[in-house]
Chains A and B, each alone.
Chain A
């Protein structure tokens, strides 16, 4: 296990460099830079200490991989929350709240305990946005891509972060090159989004969109995070910005391996032939249509507004981003139910989004259809295919196990929230509890009730905040790497 800790130490050590970005921003805006420099120094020192005490050994097998992943995602937000303390931000004075905010950042969830986001310093705001960007594609994926001479296979590490049920399709011969290409694409998309948003601001289409906001939202858009620099999230901007953001979210919710084939290798067929991609678009369309019908039917907003808000919310919630163009908690119960269900759909496997993911729904549907066919024709052998190629039965079983685990953990989380809310007399209904648990486990962000789109998770007690933090952590790692650590056989030699 020393090797695992050593590797975690190396990841943490390099994270220290990330603090230089908000420090530079702080200098630029004349805000204190020392909180970031101090955090960076502590992070580097802690990482160095971990490496030194474990002798720098890093023989990582399949077993250690799970531990590395789980620990990395626990420790990195811990260091990431340091600036919140040092900057003396009153809203994040409680360490549990600060940790929640950091986990929500790195896991690209977008849930917040802040009530007034705009009260934060610009540098602190940017750090919050940047943490989502760093975690969106995956800390370990980044580490594999940039760390020199990282002598690990990395395949399994990459697999755990780049969520999805099927075998990781390689973009290049080596894992490192694959990780590099993914990051290049990730950076390119982020730059594109920032430029588009900034252009909308410059051209006067939307006065509110400045360069700072453009970059901040590019960080949390492509990473499908959902943090905003505004209290009103995307409602602070006009229709042009909202449509542009929605378009980028749709792209970011696609499997990055397929996007790479499309943009870099010019193989559009890799995308158009992909069953998951088609169903992804289908789910988005279905969700949008349901919401539009519901809103127009109840005369909630004008025609353009109804379509825009419905489409935007469907995309934002289903891809698990969590931006908001309108307060959907004021919509009808049916609309809220639609959004809650969309939270379970999720984005595509291999994207930066979370939740169950479209491909698992697709495979579950195929498994169910097969069971039904086999009740009539018992002896029929029916391999399940995805985009034409056969899916291994083992992978299918893991899909079923994942969905079961997902629902069990969701139920436990929601029940936990209700028990705790009862004790502290916080007003949480059953729907709101399920919504909050689903929003955190699915890395969506905003939920219902007081934790709605323009609300905050602040009213939850410390224990509930802890539960929700755990859900975000589990959701980002797709549960299994963490649950494996809880089995006795894992620790047996």
Chain B
């Protein structure tokens, strides 16, 4: 596969490292020194120039590329590059890296014409949420103008069995307006028949309404009676994304930011987060606000040195679990040696996410489990479909599942007695192998 990588920073470098052996790579960057280092280390082609320039992209041979990855440090450059790529090389798939979560939202609403958008901030935040053990709900797809979501949940390994988890699906308590599309256990995908059950440690894919997604999040947080108490240090973009994700998952979040104006901006942006204007390191402040009592502290300040110092100090003051964002890849080891529980490098996390999608030949499908391929189909039911007028409970159980129907403007999450009508839009979760069969019968 011929891959064009725009941007040779940390993300670009990590991607090159992962993909150079199996694919032919062209790397574009404005900085000749960075390109020199890469070209010296790997067998790749490099080109100096601006990735948002049509001339440069043509020169880099974009027309013949199968995959374009725009991963410079600047969102707007990446987006322009992605849009140009869609036009210059219509058959190539495009991946755009952004920091700003807003661009990701625009893409999820299908208003940004690229194949895949990865938000560094959100990836980092999700990674941290997973580490803390909150049920990381990753919103993977949005359908029907936001009425239907496909959400992926990680069920915590230590979760106790209850009304939903550990029970056969036909008896389990499932939030209304939702359907379990898939259960992934140890790399294997289980078809969620009535006798299947969700077990601790599983990953579950649910097709549901936004309300039901919240209900699922609540159930899979293990009915935790008390929300996790988390302190985030640093109110930069990463800190805000982390705080936002944790808040969404029901944690009690405090955020400490040393710059007054920035603290104000964060407080305005996140009404549910208690924002403090402080360095967060004064003994008096830590004592008065009982920072030491927090279950976890996350350090997202700009410099590695400050994060390390702060994490060490807070550990001394009694915080049980510390997670730090690191800038320099070499710092990961330093941090972990120094006693920080987890060190996360956002750029590595982002690069890994991009590489995951690059490995997969079809980008729209989910590639959550190696070796299993799924498709989400969004199909309008034909007037002569053989499935019309049959109640759902009589439809054959194959590897596909009708997650939701859009009838008129309304989203319906079908039950046994519902029937398909001509003109319905069906959101279908299916194995790739059965995709054509599904398209035929509908």
> A residues bordering B, Cβ < 8 Å?
377-383, 385, 390
Contact = CB atoms under 8 A, between A and B. Distances in A.
12 contacts: A377-B288, A377-B289, A379-B256, A379-B285, A379-B289, A380-B275, A381-B264, A381-B267, A381-B276, A383-B267, A383-B268, A385-B271
B278 interface: yes
B233 to A, nearest CB: 13
A366 to B, nearest CB: 13
Contacts of B257: 381
B263 interface: yes
B256 to A, nearest CB: 8
Contact of A379 (B264, B266, B268, B276): B276
B382 interface: no
B289 A381 contact: no
A385 B289 CA distance: 24
B277 interface: yes
A379 B264 CA distance: 11
B426 to A, nearest CB: 32
B359 interface: no
Contacts of A382: 267
A378 B268 CA distance: 18
B271 A381 contact: no
Contacts of B285: 379
How many of chain B's residues touch chain A, expressed as a range?
10 to 19
B390 interface: no
Which secondary structure dominates chain A's binding surface?
loop
Given A379-B278, A380-B277, A383-B267, 7 more contacts: A377-B274, A377-B276, A377-B288, A377-B289, A379-B256, A380-B274, A380-B275
A380 B271 contact: no
Contacts of B274: 377, 380
Contacts of A378: 288
Nearest to B254: A380
Nearest to A390: B268
Contacts of B263: 381
Contacts of B277: 379-381
A100 to B, nearest CB: 47
Nearest to B280: A379
A380 B276 contact: yes
Nearest to B289: A377
Contacts of B271: 385
Nearest to A389: B268
A398 B27 CA distance: 56
A379 B286 CA distance: 11
Contacts of A377: 274, 276, 288-289
A382 B272 CA distance: 11
A385 B263 CA distance: 16
Nearest to B275: A381
Nearest 8 Cβ contacts at the A-B interface = A379-B278, A379-B276, A381-B267, A381-B275, A381-B263, A390-B268, A383-B268, A383-B267
B95 to A, nearest CB: 35
Interface in B277-325: 277-278, 285, 288-289
Chain B CB within 10 A, most for which of A377, A379, A383, A390: A379
Contacts of A383: 264, 267-268
A379 B276 CA distance: 5
B57 to A, nearest CB: 40
Nearest to B274: A380
Nearest to A388: B271
B34 to A, nearest CB: 39
A106 B267 CA distance: 44
B289 to A, nearest CB: 7
A390 B266 CA distance: 12
A390 B289 CA distance: 25
Interface string B250-264: 000000110000011
A209 B277 CA distance: 63
Contacts of A381: 257, 263-264, 266-267, 275-277
Nearest to B257: A381
A78 B106 CA distance: 59
B294 to A, nearest CB: 15
B235 to A, nearest CB: 9
A477 B276 CA distance: 39
B364 to A, nearest CB: 36
A34 B276 CA distance: 70
A367 to B, nearest CB: 15
A386 to B, nearest CB: 12
Contacts of A385: 271
Contacts of A379: 256, 276-278, 285, 289
A377 B255 CA distance: 13
A377 B267 CA distance: 15
Of the listed residues A378, A381, A382, the one surrounded by the most CB atoms of chain B closer than 10 A to its CB is A381
Interface string B44-66: 00000000000000000000000
A390 B275 CA distance: 15
A23 B129 CA distance: 77
B54 to A, nearest CB: 36
B252 to A, nearest CB: 14
Interface in B367-416: none
A378 B288 CA distance: 10
Interface in B201-259: 256-257
A148 B263 CA distance: 48
A232 to B, nearest CB: 52
B269 to A, nearest CB: 9
B162 to A, nearest CB: 35
Contacts of A390: 268
Nearest to A377: B289
A381 B255 CA distance: 10
Contacts of B278: 379
A435 to B, nearest CB: 41
B258 to A, nearest CB: 10
A470 B267 CA distance: 43
Contacts of B268: 383, 390
B98 to A, nearest CB: 25
A384 to B, nearest CB: 10
B292 to A, nearest CB: 16
A380 B263 CA distance: 9
Contacts of B266: 381
Nearest to B255: A381
A381 B271 CA distance: 11
A382 B255 CA distance: 12
A390 B269 CA distance: 9
A371 to B, nearest CB: 15
